[in-house]
Amino acid sequence: MKLTPIELYRHNNLKCSRNTTKTYSTSFSLGVRMLKKEYRNHIYSLYGFVRYADEIVDSLNQFNQERLLHEFKEDTYKAIKRGVSTNPLLDSFQHTVNSCKIDHSLIDSFLKSMEMDLTQKYFSQRDLNDYIYGSAEVVGLMCLKVFYYNNSKEYDRLQYPARKLGEAFQKVNFLRDAEDDFVNKGRVYFKDIDFSNFNHQTKEEIERQIEQDFKEAYPGIVALRKDVRFGVYLAYRYYLSLFKKIKKAPPRAILLKRYRISNTQKSFLLLKVAIKNSLGVF
């Protein structure tokens, strides 16, 4: 069927979001591909938005990052209000925000966390809680809204585990990216952690927190409807495998390399999760 001009425009913009997801995260894009198409495109749009905001604060340090982020924020809200943008990623994002009725407070919190990355190197416990909520938990809530945009009761019921899953993912990222964050950028997200003297006791305390987050997130994954559970569970198992790999590493090692899951392991996880999903065994 021939697309109308606006449909073709949106289709092309969506391709930019999808390509961004595939370029920056093969693991996440694999999980997204397991979702039904009606959800898949919206998740690509969300990822494209958060990825580019993150790139502004993490990768564009040879430019005025504060100005770039401010302009990105202004352009985001203009796109949402107008219902269109000449920026393909923002056009896809506004379409998802407006279609799924995503609360603007979630976007506010996310962008606030991005601003914190430009202004803070050390985080108090309150700062850390705010940062994790904005940078990770709200992303989980946005995805949940896509899945349940027309079912507020289920959305409310699953909010807590969705937030805990985002929190677990973010804390795993903190350990995975410790080399770049601490050595290259001087950031210390965990309160009172001295990465110069990072030891087993400190690492184990962080790992206990992450294990609890995963534990509290799991019932929410099981409770998801079948047409989205496969993709979310795959992402959960990927991060759990990454966490177990980091957990086996000595404290100093995480400051020397970025741990990853190999493509072979990813393929094995995909097969394992597919079997469990087909059998309904979690």
The pLDDT tens digits for 250-270 are 988 888 888 888 888 888 888
Q: Which residues are CB-neighbours of 156 under 8 A, at least 6 positions away? A: none
Same fold yes or no, 1-100 and 112-282? yes
pLDDT at 27: 75
Please give the average per-residue pLDDT across 76-87, as a whole number.
98
State how far the Cα of 26 lies from the Cα of 33, in Å rounded to an integer: 10
pLDDT at 93: 98
The yes-or-no verdict on residue 54 having pLDDT over 70 is yes
What pLDDT does 281 receive? Answer: 67
Q: What is the pLDDT of residue 152?
A: 95
How far apart CA 271 and CA 254 sit, in angstroms, is 29
Q: How confident is the model at residue 178 (pLDDT cuts 50, 70, 90)?
A: confident
Higher pLDDT, 179 or 83: 83
Paired residues of 188 in beta bridges? 122
Task: Tell me 251's DSSP state.
Answer: G
Distances (CA, A) of 227 to 38, 155, 232: 10, 15, 10
Alpha helices (runs of H) in the chain, residue ranges in sequence order: 5-24, 26-33, 37-58, 65-82, 88-100, 104-119, 125-132, 138-147, 152-176, 178, 200-222, 226-248, 263-279
pLDDT at 15 over 80: yes
The pLDDT of 211-233, averaged and rounded, is 94
Instruction: Flag whether pLDDT at 33 surpasses 90.
Output: no
Whole-number pLDDT of residue 254: 85
Main-chain dihedrals φ then ψ at residue 61, nearest 5 degrees = -75, -5
Q: Considering only residues 203 and 60, tell me which one the structure prediction assigns the higher pLDDT.
A: 60
Q: What is the average per-residue pLDDT within 86-115?
A: 97
pLDDT at 266: 81
Residue whose tokens read 């591909």: 33
For residue 163, is pLDDT > 90?
yes
Q: Kindly report the pTM of this predicted structure.
A: 0.92
The pLDDT-based confidence of 29 (bands split at 50, 70, 90) is: confident
Yes or no: say if 174 and 167 are a contact pair by the CB < 8 Å rule: no
CA distances to 5, 24, 72, 165, 192 from 159, rounded to whole Å, are: 37, 27, 27, 10, 29
Tell me the C-alpha distance between 117 and 123, whole Å.
10
pLDDT of residue 83: 97
- Selected from 1.10.600.10, 1.10.260.40, 3.40.50.300, 1.10.3720.10, the CATH number assigned to the domain covering 112-282 reads 1.10.600.10
| Averaged pLDDT, 55-63 | 95
Fold held by 1-100: Farnesyl Diphosphate Synthase (1.10.600)
Domain coordinates in residue numbering, the chain: 1-100, 112-282
